[in-house]
């Protein structure tokens, strides 16, 4: 039996955990691997490896966490979006396009290579002017996702991987570091105010691209169709 996790020195409220399988190409070879991402109201985000019963990575994002979502659950760990209070969210790149990339652009095999670390982190301020309650990735394109705001608005985003000739746009992204490799960029594709009350739940249709259902605190369930997603 694996030893239990050590008890934390504090007891902040924790969100329902989020599971990812498999964990990473170097540590997972079958569907029995599991990672749990947990966010706390004090801003802590932790990645737990259930196979080894260990804490894989932790960081404090500076604001209370409201939701977390991996871009895909059925691929090696890639990107994690963390929504927060005060109209902002974070996008973590958990592996590079080159599998040798690790946190802060270090090269795999070096002694200071982190286990389960973050390659890049982009903090994005949104137009919501309220808590960002959730983020949901488009099943047909994991680089596209929506954020749901406490003011009743919905925003559609796209992540762009960096290329050797590109650089981040300071008007759209705030990289976690001013030096090192380019973390890529986020672009706002569209935004709409859908409800006078916060949007508290969102889900994409798994087969019909762009079809979605949205729940809000005005006791309404809305069904929308987002068009032209196949052209992105």
Q: Return the domain boundaries, the chain.
A: 18-199
Q: What is the pLDDT of residue 125?
A: 80
pLDDT score for 16: 52
pLDDT grade, residue 156 (50/70/90)?
very high
Q: Give yes or no for residue 112 having a pLDDT over 70.
A: no
What's the whole-number average pLDDT of the chain? 75
- Of 138 and 8, the structure prediction assigns the larger pLDDT to 138
- In the DSSP assignment, the letter for residue 12 is -
178 SS3 class: coil
Q: Which two tokens stand for residue 73?
A: 């659950």
What is this structure's pTM?
0.74
The closest alpha carbon to 120, from 60, 55, 178, belongs to 178
Question: What is the pLDDT averaged over residues 110-115?
Answer: 34
Confidence of residue 208 (pLDDT cuts 50, 70, 90): very high
Determine the Cα–Cα distance for residues 176 and 37; give it in Å rounded to an integer: 20
Cα gap 137→45, rounded to integer Å? 19
- CA dihedral in degrees (74, 78, 84, 87; nearest 10)? -110
Tell me which fold the domain 18-199 belongs to. Answer: Methylamine Dehydrogenase; Chain H (2.130.10)
Percent of the chain with pLDDT over 90: 37
pLDDT at 167: 45
- Give the residue, 169 or 230, on which the prediction is more confident: 230
Going by C-alpha positions, the residue among 102, 142, 99, 108 that lies closest to residue 120 is 102
What are 175's strand-pairing partners?
Answer: 122
Cα 193 to Cα 182: distance, rounded to the nearest angstrom: 32
* C-alpha dihedral sign at 191, 176, 25, 36: negative
């Amino acid at each position: 039996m694996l030893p239990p996790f050590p008890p934390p020195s504090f007891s902040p409220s924790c969100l329902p955990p989020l599971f990812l399988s498999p964990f990473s190409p170097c540590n997972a070879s079958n569907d029995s691997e599991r990672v749990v991402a947990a966010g706390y109201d004090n801003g802590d985000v932790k990645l737990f490896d259930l196979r080894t019963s260990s804490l894989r990575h932790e960081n404090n994002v500076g604001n209370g966490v409201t939701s977390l979502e991996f871009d895909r659950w059925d691929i090696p760990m890639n990107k994690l979006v963390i929504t927060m209070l005060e109209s902002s969210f974070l996008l973590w790149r958990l592996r590079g396009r080159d599998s040798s990339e690790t946190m802060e652009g270090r090269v795999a095999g070096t002694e200071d290579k982190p286990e389960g670390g973050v390659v890049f982190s982009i903090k994005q301020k949104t137009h919501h002017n309220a808590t960002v309650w959730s983020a949901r990735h488009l099943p047909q394109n994991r680089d596209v996702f929506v954020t749901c705001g406490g003011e009743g608005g919905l925003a559609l985003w796209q992540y762009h991987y960096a290329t050797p000739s590109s650089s981040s746009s300071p008007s759209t992204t705030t990289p976690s570091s001013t030096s090192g490799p380019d973390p890529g960029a986020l672009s706002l594709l569209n935004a709409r105010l859908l409800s006078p009350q916060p949007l508290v739940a969102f889900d994409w249709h798994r087969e019909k691209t762009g079809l979605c259902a949205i729940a809000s605190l005005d006791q309404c369930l809305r069904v929308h169709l987002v068009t032209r997603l196949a052209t992105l």
